[in-house]
A and B are shown apart, each in its own frame.
Chain A
Amino acid sequence: MIARVRAAVVMAAVLALTACQGGPPSSGGGTGSVDDGTTITMWTRSPTATFSQTLVDAYNASHKNKVKLTVFPADSYQQKVGTAAGAKQLPDVLASDVVYAPNYAANGVFMDITERVNQLPFKASLAPAHMKAAAHDGKDFAVPHDIDLSAMFYNKVLFTRAGLDPAKPPTTLDEMAADAKKINALGGGVNGYFFGGACPGCQLFTSWPMIWASGGTVLNDQGTASTIDNPVAAKVYSLLRQMHADGLVPASAKDESGPTWTQSFIDGKIGIQPMGATALQGMKEGPDLQVGVAPIPGLTGGSSSFVGGDVVGIGANSQHAAAAWDFIAWTLSDKAQVDVVAKNKNITVRSDLAGNTYAQQDPRLGVFNKLAEQGQTPISVNFGKTYNDTNGPWTQTVIDAVFGAGDPASALHEHNAAITESLASGS
């Protein structure tokens, strides 16, 4: 009997604890920051591990506070954060893929840091796409951490071999296809173009900028309805489909689910491939690979970029908000952004530092910095389950549009309602 009563008490308490979680919390008291030797915890996902660790090491070396970073597998990060939020056991500092920021802000995972952010003298120069994604009801819940954006990478060695001018990357999608065709004609295991055909995240990361640059849209401003059923998007996917059908893309691209989608380019076997800016850090240039970087073009010109990466905020139940903010504010400072972020070939999250010393030394970083100001981050509370989840409606949409039996316009039209339904349904 006693056991039964205790079990009931435990269950009631659990329900009470989990039920009261939800909705954005208050600012957690105070707006200041302290560096008094507090140890704070931070979580991040594996793709951002090196970036975050570099900042943490630099902060720990120069401050009394100590940040203890834990890295979790990217694919399971949502589950970890969700469970911890339910149990009110979030870390002091929480980094998140920017596309999940609207969900975290709306569901009370992040603490409201509006007043703290307003005190930053450089607030206006923080990456606008990230700031917009991490805002909810006019309040700020996180700030930019690591910017990864999509850009067109091309192999200058193959450009030269194919008789193309490596100083003149394509400025329209038609030019891109034409250049890819010439490079493909080189043969010897070389292909003109590559994409991750079975990787929904890779596809949206690289093909949506083509649509945006062409004047099209993919979803409405509220992030509640898909607008991918439009003629511009149909033309973009028709082009990609044609390139695959013409053999400019390796047959393996159809099954590429993401983990190795940059490998062929790194091996010097691909002429042109849009991918993430952070890939540049891991590329070893040599006789087969000289990397050129240009913005992703539209059908008849223009350019755009998908601004991805991570934002960072204070965990809703942090007991060390002031110390956590001290670390976060420091990561945005001139010193951290130039001497740590830019020095390690990463993109600064502040537009006023875009022309820093390191960006001037490598013109490719200049391209990235410019794109960070111009690019977009689509905002939707249900982004993950709709677009990144391999079981979500976007996966089949893009597979049908690029590889299906029908034409791309029909595929986009057919799946548009399912995407909207997923975007609009409960988070």
Chain B
Amino acid sequence: MTRTRTGAFYLTGAALAVLFLLPMLWTVFSSVRGREAASGGDGWGLANYQRLLAYGSGLGTYLTNTVVVAVVAVSVTVVTTTLGGYAMVRLPFPGRNVLFLVTLAVLMVPYTTILVPLYILLGWLGLQNSLVGLGLVLAVLQLPFGLFMMRNSFDALPAELEEAALVDGCTITGALRRVLLRGVLPGIVTVALFSFLAAWNEFVAPLIFLTDGSKFTLPVALFNLQSGSLGSVDFGALQAGVVVSALPCVAVFLVLQRYYVRGFTSGALKG
């Protein structure tokens, strides 16, 4: 590559990076401008964050609720889809391909049509207005994609790996735990990442299944903030809320990005 081409490459890359980062930077800057600044004045400070901290049941409560829901959703999704993916590939049982297609077909059912049945079902299980119940609902919604991902991940592993482990004296569970999980780790990370982002940002399910304001997750609290009285939206606090809400997503993505990319390629390329 010539020096000119290298320069053009970096210049284009830098321009694109600025283009993508600009809205995020604008949000961060807006969040640290004073309240008066929102209507044209100057001034910097953390006033927006202070108001956000004191909003409703408090930012800490909403963050904790969101973390609880996300942890439940991610744990359940990862465990069930990992075991499901393994079963789909390694345990031959009649109709497994049909079962897989049926699971994927669930993606075509409009979300809103199952809200009332889920509402009633959670009531029967004693999980209505419960963060754990909400986490379970979100995990269920992630199952089709997660199963698809994990089935592909297990499918990409050579069967000889497990056979060797069995010959060496491992049980099926042992082989899965000690050998196979390492191979499908990128897939697990991808599933975890997707279910985390989905659970963290989910709005409709918390709105419908939670009826106690102190149990609201961050997206619902932010929507309440956003839809205050007409003309009296606290945009400063809202921008601060957007920043607080986005930070964990960015952090998790950056930490797991390496595995995440590998997860996708391992699903796409066999062997």
Q: Decide if B50 is an interface residue (CB 8 Å cutoff).
A: no
Q: How far is the CA of A72 from the CA of B206 in the complex (A)?
A: 11
Bound form: Cα–Cα A41–B204 in Å: 21
- Say how far B158's CB is from chain A's closest CB, in angstroms: 34
The size of the chain B interface, using a CB distance under 8 A, is 29
Is B120's CB under 8 angstroms from A17's CB? Answer: yes
A81 to chain B, nearest CB (A): 10
A89 at interface by CB-CB < 8 Å: yes
The answer to whether B115 and A263 have CB atoms under 8 Å apart is no
A358 to chain B, nearest CB (A): 20
- B residues 93-147 with Cβ under 8 Å of A? 115-117, 119-121, 123, 128
Residues B24-51 near A (CB distance < 8 A): 39-40
Q: Which residue of A lies closest to B220 (CB)?
A: A73
Contacting B at CB under 8 A, from A84-104, are: 84, 86-87, 89, 91
Nearest A residue to B122 via CB reads: A87
Using a Cβ–Cβ cut-off of 8 Å, how many residues does chain A contribute to the interface with B? Answer: 45
A87 & B120 in contact (Cβ 8 Å cutoff): yes
| B211 in contact with A14 (CB, 8 Å) | no
User: A80 at the A/B interface (Cβ < 8 Å)?
Assistant: yes
Q: How far is the CB of B210 from chain A (nearest CB, A)?
A: 9
What chain A residues lie within 8 Å of B224 (beta carbons)?
46, 49, 71-73
Report the bound CA distance from A14 to B212 in whole Å.
24
Contacts of A41-83 to chain B: CB distance below 8 A: 41, 43, 45-47, 49-50, 68-76, 79-80, 83
Which segment of B64-72, B225-233, B241-249 sits at the interface?
B225-233
Contact of B227 among A41, A46, A89, A91 (CB under 8 A): A46
B223 at the interface (CB under 8 A from A): yes
Chain B facing A: main interface SS: helix
With A70-B213, A89-B128, A260-B233 in contact, is A84–B227 under 8 Å at CB? no
> Which of A75, A86, A263, A266 meets B116, CB within 8 Å?
A86
Cα-based distance from A75 to B227 in the complex (angstroms): 7
Among residues 272 to 325 in chain A, which have CB atoms less than 8 Å away from a CB atom of chain B?
275-276, 278-279, 282
Chain B residues in 8 Å Cβ range of A392: none
Contact of A79 among B56, B128, B207 (CB under 8 A): B207
Q: Which of B117, B204, B232 contacts A262 (CB 8 A)?
A: B232
B208 in the interface, Cβ–Cβ < 8 Å? yes
Neighbouring B residues of A368 by C-beta, 8 Å: none
Provide the residues of chain A in CB contact with B228, threshold 8 Å: 46-47, 49
Q: Which residues of chain B are near A89, meaning CB under 8 Å?
A: 119, 123, 128, 211
Residues of B with C-beta under 8 A to A69: 213
With known contacts A18-B116, A87-B119, A89-B128, A279–B231 Cβ distance under 8 A: yes
Instruction: Check if B116 sits within 8 Å of A83, measured CB to CB.
Output: yes
**Would you give the shortest CB distance from A284 to chain B, in whole angstroms?**
11
Contact B128 A14 (CB under 8 A): no
7 closest residue pairs by CB, A with B: A262-B231, A73-B223, A87-B119, A86-B116, A74-B227, A47-B229, A14-B117
Contacts from B to A (Cβ < 8 Å): 39-40, 56, 115-117, 119-121, 123, 128, 203-204, 207-208, 211-213, 220, 223-224, 226-233
29 A-B pairs in the complex with CB atoms less than 8 angstroms apart: A11-B117, A18-B116, A45-B227, A46-B229, A50-B229, A68-B212, A70-B212, A71-B56, A73-B220, A73-B227, A75-B223, A76-B223, A79-B204, A83-B115, A83-B119, A84-B211, A87-B116, A87-B119, A89-B119, A89-B128, A89-B211, A201-B230, A258-B231, A259-B226, A262-B232, A266-B231, A267-B39, A279-B231, A282-B232
Other 8 A-B pairs with CB < 8 A, given A46-B228, A46-B229, A76-B204: A73-B220, A76-B203, A76-B207, A79-B204, A89-B128, A260-B231, A260-B233, A279-B231
